[in-house]
Structure 1
Amino acid sequence: MTTTRTLVVMRHGKSSWKTNDPDIARPLNPRGTRDAVVAGQILAPLGFDLALVSPAARAQQTWQCLQMGGATAREVRTLDALYHAWTPQIIAELKGLPAGAARVLMIGHEPTLSDVILTLTPPSASRSEIEAKFPTSAIAVLTTEHPWDALAEDVATLAAYEVPRG
């Protein structure tokens, strides 16, 4: 029996530039908070097995806002690679996901997230939108029949793409 795996790739909510904090400490701004709560309402029905979240404050706050909107995950991990790694390292991390995790959420940053999506999915109209821009709070839902350790170029389908706005 084949298990469909779902990877939801989300860019953190809009962040504040009105701070003297280092980049990793920049918080969400009010719009980013609103958008992430709306995203949580959209993602609530999925009930994630695992959420992988960048250590950046804006990504961690995005996850908190998703929860306020109703999103859940059985396990949440802060993944340092989501803050500074490039596509090959992120895909290597995904290949190491537990086989029992059928629904995974990943919250991180550009330009890496869109590149991961473009690597894992074949060309499509929605993919062209992501190629042009993957804005803050954007959500891409990828599905695959392959096990996580078999992730490779073009093995996933871009099932949905949405940019929630609150």
Structure 2
Amino acid sequence: MKIVIMRHGEAEHFADSDAQRALTPFGRAASKAVAEACVKQGLAKFDKALVSPYLRAQQTWQEISAHFDALSVEECADITPYGDSPHVVDYLNAIIEVEKLESVLLVSHLPLVGYLTAELVADIAPPMFPTSGLACIDYDPVSGKGELLWNINP
């Protein structure tokens, strides 16, 4: 199965709270460009999209959803910047099994996106994701092991 992990687009530096930081125009454009490149890699349909409740992640999903088709979209409070990667992987494994998913997209934040990638792919250090960066993992939920297939950076 495929798990795609994407970091939100570039956001404003200041807001009333970290959760309320909005995307910049560059962040919107870069997110769209990365989504278009992902489609060119042959991946445009997802069984489920999990999106952080933070404004910049929600806005990233709004920008990329024009290019991606997701059967189900769920706001997921566990994938905020300081989410617990082992907990998120346990959750992913549970929904993959119960819902018989073949593809999942996560729109999240640093540092979690790097930790999740390292949790899903054996023997790699958590990679740094630029804003709008995306990684595609071929994941076997039975073995709990995945392989990083490709990544796209704006």
Q: Do both proteins adopt the same fold according to a TM-score greater than 0.5, normalized to the shorter chain?
A: yes
**Residue 140 of structure 1: how far off its partner (Å):** 0.5
TM-score where L is the length of structure 2? 0.87
Answering whether residue 107 of structure 2 is matched by residue 107 of structure 1, we say yes
**Residue 85 of structure 1: how far off its partner (Å):** 1.5
1:52-91 equivalence runs, <5 A: 52-68=50-66, 70-83=67-80, 84-91=82-89
Distance 1:144 1:80 in 2: 23
| More displaced stretch, 89-98 vs 107-116 | 89-98
Answering whether residue 153 of structure 2 is matched by residue 157 of structure 1, we say no
Distance 2:62 2:35 in 1: 9
Distance 1:158 1:141 in 2: 6
Distance 2:147 2:32 in 1: 26
TM-score where L is the length of structure 1? 0.82
How large is the Cα RMSD of the aligned pairs?
1.7
User: Structure 2: 5+ residue runs without aligned partners?
Assistant: none
List 4+ stretches of structure 1 deviating above 6 A: none
1:1-166 equivalence runs, <5 A: 5-17=1-13, 19-44=14-39, 45-46=42-43, 47-68=45-66, 70-83=67-80, 84-99=82-97, 100-123=100-123, 131=127, 133-147=128-142, 151=144, 155-164=145-154
User: Structure 1: 5+ residue runs without aligned partners?
Assistant: none
CA contact (8 A) 2:96 2:141 kept: no
Percent identity reads 28
Distance 1:20 1:143 in 2: 37
Distance 1:88 1:73 in 2: 24
Amino acid at match of 2:146: A
* CA shift digits 1:70-116 (9 cap, x unpaired): 11101000000111422122112212214321010001011111011
* CA shift digits 1:7-33 (9 cap, x unpaired): 00000001011x432111111001100
Aligned length: 148
